[in-house]
Amino acid sequence: MQTDCRNCPFKTKATSMLSECSLDQLSSNHLELKLKKGDSIIKQGTYSTNVVFLRTGLAKIHIAGPYTEQIVKMVNAPSYLGLPTTFGSKINQYSVTAVSDAEVCFIDLEVFQNILDENKEFTREIIQEFCKNELESFHRCANRTQKLIRGNMADAILDFADKIFKSDSFVLPLSQVEFANLVDTSRESVSRVLAEFDKDGIIKVNGRQIDILNKKSLVLVSQNG
């Protein structure tokens, strides 16, 4: 299915920089797909020739570590997915999976490259994005390895609230196993710490429904443990 990209209401900042001409090129060279929660978007180990545009929905980027699957980051729409894997390597180096219902557009790599070549502003924004990601990954790495579990879990919850859902009440889009893979812990520890936070009145846990009751405390835990 193809739609007119010019009128797409889900443009990223980068995409809004594109010329009409490039948008038309996109329109006639992309495949739009509706996905259900759990559907695979990019699969580690498979051949890759597409950049993916996440139009709506929420996805996880995950990678097979030496022992367990690790969730590298959560991404919400609108956003481009798979640039590193598609540009940097013929074979996908990580997986992306929808954790909510989602809409995606598959864009041929050559078309995307062409659009990069023809749109300086677009390229600038994409590079900005790369820079932001690299900085984030530096910070994430330093935090994850130095902080204790409580701190990392607090971080993750704050991230969901502030970056993903923009609300202090949300339902966790991950199982505890997945949450553990995101925070680098065991499933059991996730369960325990969540219960602790609840007992301490920092958050209210009801199944996967999370309500942040005391954000200051949560930030403190994030900083100190």
Using CB under 7 A, list all residues that contact DNA.
Answer: 67, 148-150, 175-177, 184-189, 191-192, 194-195, 205, 207-208
Task: Tell me which of 79, 93, 100, 186 binds a second copy, using CB under 8 A.
Answer: 93
Q: Name 57's Cβ contacts closer than 8 Å, sequence gap at least 6.
A: 35, 76, 77, 98, 100, 101, 102, 103, 104
Task: Tell me which of 17, 72, 111, 164 binds a second copy, using CB under 8 A.
Answer: 72
Does 132 bind a second copy (CB under 8 A)? Our answer is yes
Q: Whole-angstrom Cα distance, residue 28 to residue 89?
A: 26
Task: Tell me which of 141, 171, 177, 219 binds a second copy, using CB under 8 A.
Answer: 141
Q: Whole-angstrom Cα distance, residue 196 to residue 188?
A: 12
Beta strands in 99-190 (DSSP E): 102-108, 169-171
Task: Tell me which of 37, 139, 166, 208 binds a second copy, using CB under 8 A.
Answer: 139
Q: Whole-angstrom Cα distance, residue 85 to residue 83?
A: 5
194 binds, among a second copy, DNA, none (CB under 5 to 8 A by kind): DNA
77 binds, among a second copy, DNA, none (CB under 5 to 8 A by kind): none
User: What residues pair up with 104 in beta bridges, in sequence order?
Assistant: 33, 54
Q: How far is the CB of 146 from DNA (least distance, A)?
A: 9
Q: Which is nearer to DNA, 32 or 184 (CB)?
A: 184
